[in-house]
Amino acid sequence: MNSKTHNHLDIGSILSEKGISRTNFRTKLVNYFYSSNKSLSVDDILKYFNNSINKVTVYRSLVSFENNGLIHKVPDTNNLMRYSLCRKEECSPISHNHNHGHFICYSCNQTFCLEGVKYPEIISMKGFYVKEFKLTAEGYCKECYKN
């Protein structure tokens, strides 16, 4: 078990550590995030729980997770929101630091953070005062392109 793998106990304590209430649903939800390694839409989550949970609860849990530095938003090209686990190095309950784009695979839905290029710098060089930006790319990842 490497350092990036978490068992149930670990994940439960992640919630506590981040100051998120350790409810039944939220524990299962954070487990879903860790086990799927994909960006999740609200619809993904509702289906995963067989619509046994109210969508309002899902939205509010996601807001809480985001505010506490556990996940971040990943908009896709169809104006639909997805959510993806934050990396420890970048995010904390205090602030997010996602100055990079995301790639989403049509086939496997995995989400890749595009760290290589720091977009805000590129843009501010042109004389714009940038407050927000987002880059999303979609297509097929290496693995899925083979098949």
Query: What are the residues binding its own copies (CB under 8 A)?
Result: 75, 77, 79, 81, 101, 103, 106, 112, 114, 116-117, 119-120, 122-123, 126-142, 145
Q: Of 101, 47, 113, 108, which Cα lies nearest the Cα of 77?
A: 101
Phi then psi for 48, rounded to 5 degrees? Answer: -60, -35
CB 59 within 8 A of CB 42: yes
Residue 113 contact among DNA, Mn ion, Zn ion, none, beta carbon within 5 to 8 Å by kind: Mn ion
Q: Is 16 near DNA (CB under 7 A)?
A: yes
Between 29 and 91, name the residue whose CB sits nearer to DNA. Answer: 29
Write out the two tokens for 20.
Answer: 């998120």
Phi then psi for 59, rounded to 5 degrees? Answer: -60, -45
Q: Is 108 near Zn ion (CB under 5 A)?
A: yes
Between 89 and 132, name the residue whose CB sits nearer to its own copies. Answer: 132
Q: Is 113 near Mn ion (CB under 5 A)?
A: yes
Identify which range of 26-34, 73-81, 124-132, 133-141 contacts Zn ion by CB under 5 A.
133-141
What distance in Å separates the CA atoms of residue 130 and residue 110, rounded to the nearest whole number? Answer: 28
Write out the two tokens for 25.
Answer: 């649903």
In the shown chain, the binding pattern of residues 55 to 74 toward DNA, with x for contact by CB under 7 A and - for none, equals: xxx-xxx--x----------
Q: Is 136 near DNA (CB under 7 A)?
A: no
Between 54 and 99, name the residue whose CB sits nearer to DNA. Answer: 54
CB 56 within 8 A of CB 50: no
Residue 59's region, left for phi above 0, alpha for psi from -120 to 50, else beta, is: alpha
Residues that bind DNA (CB under 7 A): 15-16, 20-26, 41-43, 53-57, 59-61, 64, 79-81
